[in-house]
């Protein structure tokens, strides 16, 4: 009986041990499953990324002059080309070195327009300039300059950074070029240290000639818009025909005769009076008339 009891106890112990072992394995298995399940829930499912090779668009530089140059062929011409030849319907840079001054011709090869966002004065300390203030040895031989009374006139002068090829030269009355409105305009720009929004419009009496009949210059000096319009004629002859030149042989006396300008005798000169006397605008501070005129904005110019 005792022996049977021992077998029974042994059998119960074996059953108990087997049960504990299964329970432990079940716990471990359940724990791993739980951990695996937690890990799976907490992790975003990985996305499959497909990379598609797209063609790289080439960067096209912004050309702000595209619209401006529409209808014209842009060509390059040496600044000192003296041939005098012009092509039709072209645009050429007539600014010295890095300056951008654009000249346009029409279908007849006539120079009709020259523009510049900014006029930059000649810098003879850093630029190759002759003792005469020239970039080139001479100016282009545009048809018409062979006349004794016509100069090889720059639209934008050397002193203002312009070159000497045919796209910046027109046959211009010598007196007008050296002492008239053309010279006054260039001097005013030099004294102002440059100009902005420059435009020259050049017109001709017909389509056959290269000798202009009229010039119109529009530009800004120190924020003031100036418009100069004049014919391609000798201003002295025009003034004489209008009776605006005195008989006094002394230039200094006749040129500073206030009574010939101040028509109402009040000691002051208006823009209208100055123009009627043959003086072109603007009148700058170094002009003898300036002290008799009203410079309201105090910028050293009247009639700009």
The tens digit of pLDDT for each residue in 94-142 reads 999 999 999 999 999 999 999 999 999 999 899 999 988 899 999 999 9
Return the higher-pLDDT residue of 3 and 81: 81
Can you give the residue ranges of every domain in the chain?
A: 79-239, 249-299
The string over 213-230, giving b where at least 16 C-beta atoms fall within 10 Å of a residue's C-beta and e elsewhere, is eebebbbbbeeeebebeb
Q: What is the dihedral of CA 229, 234, 235, 241, to 10 degrees?
A: -120
Tens digit of each residue's pLDDT (9 = 90 or more) over 189-228: 999 999 999 999 999 999 999 999 999 999 999 899 999 9
Dump strand ranges (E) for the chain.
Answer: 73-74, 90-93, 101-105, 111-119, 150-154, 169-173, 195-203, 214-221, 224-231, 283-284, 301-302
Res. 38 pLDDT band, cuts 50 70 90: very low
Res. 152 pLDDT band, cuts 50 70 90: very high
pLDDT for 81 equals 97
- Distance (Å, rounded) from C-alpha 23 to C-alpha 85? 109
- Distance (Å, rounded) from C-alpha 202 to C-alpha 127? 29
pLDDT for 86 equals 97
pLDDT for 31 equals 47
Mean residue pLDDT across the chain:
82
Q: Which CATH superfamily is domain 79-239 in?
A: Extracellular Endonuclease, subunit A (3.40.570.10)
């Amino acid at each position: 009986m005792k022996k049977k009891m021992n077998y029974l106890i042994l059998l119960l112990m074996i059953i108990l041990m087997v049960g504990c072992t299964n329970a432990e394995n079940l716990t471990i298995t359940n724990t791993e499953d739980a951990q695996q399940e937690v890990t799976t829930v907490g992790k975003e499912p990985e996305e499959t990324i497909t990379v598609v090779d797209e063609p790289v668009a080439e960067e096209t530089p912004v050309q702000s002059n595209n619209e401006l140059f529409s209808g014209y062929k842009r060509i390059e011409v040496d600044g000192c080309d003296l041939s005098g030849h012009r092509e039709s319907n072209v645009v050429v840079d007539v600014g010295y070195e890095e300056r951008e001054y654009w000249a346009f011709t029409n279908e007849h090869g006539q120079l009709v327009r020259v523009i510049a966002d900014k006029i930059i004065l000649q810098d003879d300390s850093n630029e190759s300039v002759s003792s005469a203030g020239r970039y080139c040895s001479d100016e282009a031989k545009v048809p018409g300059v062979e006349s004794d009374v016509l100069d090889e006139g720059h639209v934008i002068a050397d002193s203002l950074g312009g070159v000497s090829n045919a796209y910046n030269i027109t046959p211009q009355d010598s007196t007008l070029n050296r002492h008239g409105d053309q010279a006054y305009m260039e001097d005013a720009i030099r004294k102002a240290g440059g100009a902005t929004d420059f435009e020259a419009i050049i017109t001709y009496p017909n389509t056959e000639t290269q000798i202009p009949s009229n010039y119109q210059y529009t530009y800004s000096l120190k924020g003031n818009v100036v418009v100069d319009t004049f014919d391609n004629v000798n201003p002295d002859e025009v003034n004489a025909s209008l009776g605006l030149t005195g008989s006094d042989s002394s230039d200094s006396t006749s040129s500073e005769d206030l009574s010939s300008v101040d028509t109402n005798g009040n000691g002051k000169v208006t823009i209208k009076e100055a123009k009627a006397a043959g003086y072109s605008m603007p009148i700058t501070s170094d002009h003898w008339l300036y002290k008799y005129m009203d410079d309201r904005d105090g910028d050293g110019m009247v009639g700009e």
